[in-house]
């Protein structure tokens, strides 16, 4: 192999790498840019954004590697196999990102939740997922079939100094338009915007319900969003709040969004098949119910006492005297349907300065998961 052939192979590999980067960026943009756009202005935690960023990064890495490997192979059949494998991996990333990725990120943030299904995984089979990504696989197969011809034509556009001409850049970027469209279509098939849309609709409903003085039901009929779902909690709504995904069940088409307000209010809003259905006060099991577990008494509300196993009920009973009959109950944080609460001994009580923190899971019913002693 002479020096000219070695140089051309090196340029071809770099063009393959660049081609993979363009495909990865276009796919990631099509898959999740609409979801990020929907989150713009929504007062939510960084977890949904981080999950999208993780998915986009993986797609970019997969496509970049596929481009580099296929560029080094310089063989059409081998390139098709490489890109089809990349397409399968990308499809799995798209399918698993909303649940498995969010759960993995939650484990990194909360080691106490390691091994728990913070966001229930999808029950779809791998075969079903791959079939759902058929358009993506077909697009990548077509580009792989044409890759050898395209990149060979670009070798002449590679200038000294490791630069492409303007015409070369245009040719390398053109497939990105196709992949952008395929990403948008695939994202819609997998419901990549579902969580973002649910958060956006809940925010819109809260903003209208807390300021609109007319008939919420009539306004909802006119605008296509059930503002009346918030009538039962309308007096609790404040201007400052944070929204988060509490629960999602794609099989049943149900999503629960939690809104925590700076004024102390705490509500859950349920969406069924992407339609806001009703909102309710969510605080009772974690405040009144938690206090009743500690005191051993009955909560002043029906069905708001969290479920607790005998072992944890006994553990709480052993700390009853330390925390006093009326411990101070505070919210710490929430990850999905898992909520961390703290119960502290009041100032002046024998156990002053001592506290316990307990994780609860579930929306309906709420279950006590674990507890530990901490300093308040």
Let me know whether 188 and 326 are in one domain: no
CA 79 – CA 86 distance, rounded (Å): 10
Same domain? For 273 and 293 the reply is no
Task: Based on the fold, state whether residues 26 and 110 are members of the same structural domain.
Answer: yes
Of 310, 302, 312, 347, the closest CA to residue 328 belongs to 347
Mean pLDDT of 57-81: 91
Q: Count up the domains in the chain and report the number.
A: 3
Cα–Cα distance measured from residue 232 to residue 317, given in angstroms and rounded to the nearest whole number: 35
| 266 and 251 in a common domain | yes
Peptide bond just before 365 cis, omega within 30 deg: yes
Is 243 within 8 Å of 44 (Cβ atoms)? yes
Q: So what's the pLDDT on residue 148?
A: 83
pLDDT band at 157 (very low <50, low <70, confident <90, very high): low
SS (H, E, C) 231-273: HHHHHHCCCCEEEEEEEEECCCCEEEEEEEECCCCEEEEEEEC
Q: What percent of the residues of the chain are helix, what percent strand, and what percent coil, each to the nearest 5?
A: 55, 20, 25
Could you tell me the residue range of the domain that residue 274 belongs to? 219-281
Q: Which of 48-57, 116-125, 188-197, 264-273 has the lowest mean pLDDT?
A: 116-125
Please state which of the ranges 22-26, 27-31, 149-153 shows the lowest mean pLDDT: 149-153
Whether residues 177 and 67 fall in one domain:
yes
Distance, CA of 81 to CA of 350 (rounded, Å): 70
Q: Which of 116-125, 150-159, 346-355 has the lowest mean pLDDT?
A: 346-355
The tens digit of pLDDT for each residue in 42-57 reads: 898 877 888 888 889 9
In a domain, 294, yes or no: yes
User: Cα separation of 229 and 276, whole Å?
Assistant: 7
- Same domain assignment for residues 327 and 370: yes
Does residue 77 share a domain with residue 21? yes
User: d(Cα 21, Cα 63) in Å, to the nearest integer?
Assistant: 6
Residues 282-291: tens digit of each pLDDT: 999 999 999 8
Q: How distant, in Å, are the alpha carbons of 38, 239, 279, 290 from that of 242?
A: 15, 10, 15, 23
**CATH code, domain carrying 351:** 3.10.450
Residues 269 and 301 in one domain: no
- For the residues 84-89, what does the mean pLDDT come to? 94
Q: What is the pLDDT of residue 352?
A: 61
Provide the sign of the torsion angle of the four alpha carbons 243, 244, 248, 250, taken in this order. Answer: positive
Q: Assess whether 126 and 107 both reside in one domain.
A: yes
Q: Which of 374, 342, 375 is nearest to 360 (CA)?
A: 342
Residues 23 and 124 in one domain: yes
> Does 201 fall in a domain?
no
- Note whether 274 and 309 are same-domain residues: no
Whether 137 is in a domain gets the answer yes
Highest-pLDDT range among 37-51, 235-249, 349-363: 235-249
Same domain, 8 and 97: yes
- Is residue 142 in a domain? yes
């Amino acid at each position: 192999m002479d020096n000219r052939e070695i140089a051309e192979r090196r340029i071809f590999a770099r063009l393959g790498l660049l081609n993979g980067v363009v495909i990865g960026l276009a796919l990631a943009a099509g898959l999740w840019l609409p979801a990020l756009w929907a989150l713009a202005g929504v007062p939510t935690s960084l977890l949904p954004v981080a999950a999208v960023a993780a998915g986009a990064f993986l797609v970019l890495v997969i496509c970049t590697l596929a481009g580099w490997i296929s560029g080094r192979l310089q063989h059409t059949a081998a390139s098709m196999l490489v890109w089809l494998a990349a397409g399968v991996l990308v499809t799995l990333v798209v399918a698993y990102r909303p649940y498995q990725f969010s759960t993995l990120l939650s484990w990194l943030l909360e080691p106490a939740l390691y091994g728990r299904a913070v966001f229930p995984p999808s029950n779809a089979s791998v075969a079903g997922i791959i079939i759902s990504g058929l358009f993506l696989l077909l697009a990548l197969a077509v580009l792989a079939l044409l890759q050898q011809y395209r990149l060979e034509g670009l070798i002449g556009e590679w200038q000294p100094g490791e630069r492409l001409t303007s015409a070369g850049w245009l040719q390398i970027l053109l497939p990105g338009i196709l992949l952008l469209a395929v990403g948008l279509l695939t994202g819609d098939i997998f419901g990549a915007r579902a969580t973002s849309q649910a958060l956006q609709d809940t925010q819109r409903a809260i903003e209208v319900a807390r300021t609109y003085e007319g008939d919420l039901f009539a306004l909802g009929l006119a605008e296509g969003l059930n503002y009346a779902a918030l009538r039962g909690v309308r007096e609790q709504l404040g201007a400052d709040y944070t929204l988060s995904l509490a629960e999602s069940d794609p099989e049943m088409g149900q999503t629960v969004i939690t809104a925590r307000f700076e004024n102390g209010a705490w509500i859950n809003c349920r969406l069924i098949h992407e339609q806001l259905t009703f909102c309710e006060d969510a605080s009772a099991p974690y405040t009144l119910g938690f206090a009743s577990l500690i005191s051993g008494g009955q909560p002043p509300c029906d069905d708001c006492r969290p479920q607790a196993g005998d072992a944890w009920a006994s553990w709480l009973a052993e700390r009853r005297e330390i925390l006093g009959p009326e411990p101070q109950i505070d919210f710490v944080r929430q990850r999905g349907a898992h909520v961390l609460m703290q119960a502290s001994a009041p100032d002046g009580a024998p156990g002053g300065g001592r506290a316990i923190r307990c994780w609860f899971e579930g929306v309906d019913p709420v279950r006590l998961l674990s507890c530990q002693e901490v300093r308040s």
